[in-house]
Amino acid sequence: MMIRPVSEHALRRVHRKKYKEIHGRLFLIWEKYEDDETTTTQLLRACSRVAGLGPDTSYDQVHDEDEV
C-alpha cells in the first residue's frame, strides 16, 4: 500500500471549505431564529446537529409542546 503525501496547502483548503460550510449553516439557523421562524429549542437542536454533537431529533414531546 502506498501513501501519497498531501501538501499543507491542500489540507488548509479542505479545512477552510469544511468550516465555511458549517459557519454558513449556523448563520442561516441564527437568521431564522432572529426572524422568529424557530424557537430557542429548535435553534439549539439545529446547532447541535451542525456541530455533530447531538442526535437528529425532529420532534420531542416534552420540549415541543408549545410548538404544536
- pLDDT, one tens digit per residue, over 1-54 is 777 777 888 888 888 888 898 899 999 999 999 999 999 999 998 998 888 766
Counting every residue, how long is the chain? 68
| CB of 33 closer than 8 Å to CB of 43 | yes
Nearest one of 43, 14, 19, 49 to 31, comparing CA atoms? 43
Nearest one of 16, 42, 18, 17 to 30, comparing CA atoms? 42
Structure confidence at residue 13 (pLDDT): 87
Q: Which residue has the higher pLDDT, 63 or 52?
A: 52
